Amino acid sequence: MNSCDTINALVTPYVDEELADREREAVDRHLQRCPPCYQRVAAEQAIRGLIQARKPALRRECASAALRARCAGLEGRAAPSARIASSAAGAVAPFASAWRRRLAPFALAASLVVLVGGAFVYQLTERSTTVMAAELTADHMKCFAVNSVLGTRQPLSVVESSMTGTFGWDARLPENPESGGLELVGSRPCLYGEGRVAHIMYRYHGHPVSLFMLPNAVRRQSLTSVMGHECAVWSSGGRTFVLITREPRDDVARMASFVQASLARDIK
Amino acid sequence: MRIRRGPPPSTAVRGPVPARDTAFEADALAQLDSLYRTARRLTRNAADAEDLVQDTYLKAFRAADRFEPGTNLRAWLFTILHNSARNRVRDQARDAVVVDSDAVERAAGLAAGTGPAAPGETPESLLLRETLGPDLQAAIDALPEAFREAVWLRDVEEFSYAEIAAMLSIPVGTVMSRISRGRQGLYERLQSAEAGRPGSIGRQPSPVPVGQTEE
């Protein structure tokens, strides 16, 4: 009774889990004996799952501070009660490109406000640890790609003072990373989720190793495989640490406990 | 579902509206990033997206008195964005939204195409492992416009079918079929991208071009 045509209209709400029980069961029954429909559902589910997992990356792109200032200025144009940009904008045609240039100083001011207001607050999202690990693995690959182009290196003191300056984190990184087989490369602040995370880069027998520190986040301890990398996750002192590399699991566990032990000097 | 009372403001720009709740502007501006990202998908171009968003806010602020407080401001703004995008395409007589009929055909013929997955691997786990954000973004941007917009509004902006239907002035059934075809088109593209990739697992991380994930 359930031909593919009947099921057809139900596939998308089925994938989105928006069907009532009876309809869902009807689709389930059909899928069990119809490989083409089964494959179609699997494809849609795969894409939906992928988009859900990559949503933070898809949402990473933001409107520029200049655009923000221009749009806030529009509000000032319509209501004389006024914003900073209204006097500058009032005399100029709304869509003229010159307008954009005139507002650049305001845009800069707006961007500074945004930075001060929000950049250092990392909010824990409800995404799973695996998704977080996948996102950070992408950053791991990207930052090492950038580093291999630029070839920059930073000593321990520079990395530690940058952690203090950017994150208010008195990091006690391993003083002799070589004893754990690690060699310090440097650090970068990375954008992740709603704010910044610290990214400290090492090499282990020449191979890239990343240590991420997420402020104000707590996760359960875990060792996850994602995108060909091993990710060790642990939390202490209200911060979450993620160590990522392509080395074998045992080595990763050893590196993680080496770093963990060193950082623990920080937490009395 | 009721989203707005009056017709959405389109091209007509009226005089300043004197008294408005400042919360309205603040709530509207809170949608800036979402509107901009969606505008990027619609125009596939940063400068056009910025103009489109600015156009959207201008119309929204000037039509603020036609917005019914307590109803869905976000959906209302996206409706204006969608209509503005359509008007711009029409005004500029520029075919920025060519429907890629080959892609539609490929999407429709999807079921026959893909090979069996390895044991224990689902299509989802395979794609999840191999597809990073920028690859997915590029695949979305390569979709025909109608499918791209439907998938984006549903899966990224998380609007309901009914909200999207009202926004685009199309039936709910059409919304669902566009989402479905969009997802299938994405699956097809990402699978073939996957098949065309050289043996990926090595000791070094695969090089990611600088700036690929940042603009």
- What is the DSSP secondary structure assignment for residue A179, as one 8-state letter? G
Chain A contact set for B20 (CB, 8 A): 78-79
Closest by Cβ to B29, choosing from A39, A71, A228: A71
A130-159 residues touching B, CB cutoff 8 A: 134-135, 138, 140-142, 144-146, 148-149
pLDDT digits (tens, 9 = 90+) for A174-200: 888 888 888 888 888 777 765 778 889
Q: Are A217 and A122 in contact (CB under 8 A)?
A: yes
Whether residue B6 is predicted with pLDDT greater than 80 in this model: the reply is no
Alpha helices (H) along chain A: 4-8, 11-15, 21-32, 35-53, 55-58, 65-78, 86-90, 97-102, 104-118, 129-150, 156-167, 249-263
Q: Is the pLDDT of residue A49 over 80?
A: yes
Mean pLDDT of chain B: 74
Residues B190 and A195: their CA atoms lie apart, in Å, by: 29
Cα B184 to chain centroid, rounded: 16
A43–B210 C-beta distance less than 8 A:
no
Mean pLDDT across the stretch A136-141? 83
On whether the CB atoms of residues B204 and B123 are closer than 8 A, the answer is no
Closest CA–CA distance from residue B102 to any residue of chain A (Å) = 19
The reported pLDDT for the residue numbered B60 is 92
Q: Do residue B155 and residue A138 have CB atoms under 8 angstroms apart?
A: no
Residue found under tokens 């997206």: B49
d(CA B187, CA B191): 6
What backbone torsions phi and psi does residue A16 show, to the nearest 5 degrees?
-85, 5
Q: Which residues make Cβ contacts (< 8 Å) with residue B77, sequence separation at least 6?
A: B28, B31, B35, B56, B60
**B98 CA: distance to closest CA in chain A (Å):** 23
Query: Which residues on A lie below 8 Å from B22 (Cβ)?
Result: 81
The two three-digit tokens of residue A168, written as one number:
């208010």
The ipTM (two decimal places) reads: 0.70
Q: What is the pTM of this model?
A: 0.51
Name which of B140, B179, B186 is nearest A12 (Cβ-Cβ).
Answer: B179
Count of beta carbons in the 10 Å neighbourhood of residue A19: 18
| A57 touches B: beta carbon within 8 Å | yes
- Token code pair at residue B167: 């926004």
Neighbours of A211 (CB within 10 A): 26
Q: How far is A255 from chain B (nearest CA, A)?
A: 18
Is the CB of A40 less than 8 angstroms away from the CB of B111?
Answer: yes
Nearest to A58 among B17, B122, B136 (CB): B136
Please compute the mean of the pLDDT values over residues B52-60 and round it to a whole number.
Answer: 93
